[in-house]
Amino acid sequence: MITVDGRTGNVYEGVIKTEVKRWDPTQYKTRTKLFVNLEDPETAVEVYKIFDGIGLMRTEFVILEAKYHPEFLQHFDLFKQRYEEAIKAGKKTFEFFLEPNVPVEEAKELIEEIEKDTAGYENKLHFIRDKLAQIYIKTAEAFWPKPVTIRLSDFKSDEYRGMKGGKYVEKIEKYPMAGFRGVRRYVSERYREAFKQTELAAMRMAIKEKGMTNIIMLVPEIRSIPKEVVPLKEMVSEVFEDPSFADKLLFMFEVPANALICRDFTEQTKIGWSIGSNDLTKGVLDIDRDNEDLKDLWNEADPAVLAAVKRVIDTSHSMDPVRTVSICGEGPSNNDLFFEKLIEYGIDSISVNIDVGGERRKRLWEIEREIDEGKRPGAVLPPAFRK
C-alpha cells in the first residue's frame, strides 16, 4: 500500500493520514477578488461560498467527452458518402481529406459508432453544441450571480488529431505549441463553421437564450488584431445576432505580442484581460517547461515576466473605461513571490487552484493590510476604483 501526493508527485510507503483544512471564507475580506481554477464542474456547488467567482473553466474536457473531432463531424455526411461509394464500387479503401486510403471496415465501425452516439441529430455538430451548453448552463447556475469565466477551446493539433476522426482532417505539426490553435483555428476557413456551430452556438444558448449573463467568454492565444481579433468579433456578432457581445470578450494575455503592443490589443476589449501565467512564462522566457535541462530557469517571478504583467495591469487601468485584469494558470498557486507581486501591482482578481484557496485568501488579506499600512509598495485602493 502506498500514498501518492497529487500536488508534489511524492510517493510514500503505507497509508498517510491526511487532515482536510476547513476555513471560513468570510474571515478574510479582501478587495482583490479570489477566483478558482475549476477543473471539475461537478464541484462548482461545493466551492461557491469559498470563492468570488470562477477564473478559469476549460472547454476542452467537454469536447474530449464528445470524442469526435468537430471538423470531422462537420464533414460526416461526405465521409459516409465516400464510404458508400467505395462499397458500391467494390473497393477496400477510399480517399478522404488527408487520408488517401481509409479502410472501408474502419470507416464502417466509425460511422456506426457516430450514428449511435448522435442518434436524433441531423446536424452532428449540434451533438457537441448541446453537451457544451449543458455544462456551461449548469456551472453558471451553480455560481450565479458570481462571474464564471469559460475559456474557449485551446487544443493543439496533436491533441485534436488524437480524437476520433482527427487523423483524417488534422495535419501533423512540428511545433504544435506555436501552431494552429486558439483564435487562429476559430477564424480559419477550414474550422470556422465547426467553431460557430459548437462553441459559439453553445455560448449563445447559455448566455443569450438561458440568461446566464454571469458567463464570461475567455479567448486564448491571441496573436494578431486584423487577422484574428477582428474576424472573431465579426463571428461573435453574427452568431449572437448582436454586435454588443463582441465587446464582451475577455482576452488571454499569454503571447509576448500582447505586451509589446498592449494598448492596441486592450482597445479591442471592453472587459480586459486574464493573464495565462503558464504560456506567458513560456513565451517570454522561451522555455519548454517540460524540459528537465531548463527546469531551473522556469520562474513566473522572473523580472521579464513581471515586467509584462505590470505593463498589462498599468495599461488596462489607465484606459477609459478601465479594463480589469485577472490571472489564471499555476503561477499564483505555486509561486509565492509571483502571487505577492500581482497584489502589489494592483491586479483586480487572482484565480487559484481549489486546494490552496484557504491559504491564498489569508495571504492576500495580509498583503493588502501591509500595503494599506505602508509596509510594502502597492495600491491602497484597487486601480479600478480610482478617480
What is the average per-residue pLDDT within 135-160? 97
What is the average per-residue pLDDT within 196-210? 98
pLDDT digits over 234-282, tens only? 999 999 999 999 999 999 999 999 999 999 999 999 999 999 999 999 9
DSSP class of 68: B
Predicted pLDDT at 17? 54
Mean pLDDT of the chain: 93
97-101, 245-249, 382-386: least confident range: 382-386
Q: Which residues contact 86 (CB under 8 A, 6 or more apart)?
A: 92, 93, 94, 104, 107
Radius of gyration of the chain (CA): 23
Predicted pLDDT at 379? 61
Q: Where does the pLDDT of residue 22 fall: very low under 50, low under 70, confident under 90, or very high at 90 and above?
A: low
22-26, 146-150, 375-379: least confident range: 22-26
**Region of residue 52 (phi > 0: left; psi between -120 and 50: alpha; otherwise: beta):** alpha
Q: Which residues contact 9 (CB under 8 A, 6 or more apart)?
A: none
Burial class (CB in 10 A: 0-12, 13-18, 19+), 215: buried
- Three cell numbers at 304? 521579464
Q: Where does the pLDDT of residue 3 fall: very low under 50, low under 70, confident under 90, or very high at 90 and above?
A: low
CB 199 within 8 A of CB 59: yes
Global pTM reads 0.90
Instruction: Name all domains of the chain by residue range, CATH numbers in brackets.
Output: 25-54+254-387 (3.20.20.60), 59-213 (3.20.20.60)
Q: Is pLDDT at 382 greater than 60 in this prediction? A: no
CB 219 within 8 A of CB 252: yes
Instruction: Return d(Cα 199, Cα 132) in angstroms, integer.
Output: 7
Predicted pLDDT at 18? 45
Q: Is pLDDT at 223 greater than 90 in this prediction? A: yes
Predicted pLDDT at 45? 87
Q: Is pLDDT at 326 greater than 60 in this prediction? A: yes
pLDDT digits over 64-96, tens only? 999 999 999 999 999 999 999 999 999 999 999
DSSP class of 152: P
Predicted pLDDT at 344? 97
Predicted pLDDT at 41? 86
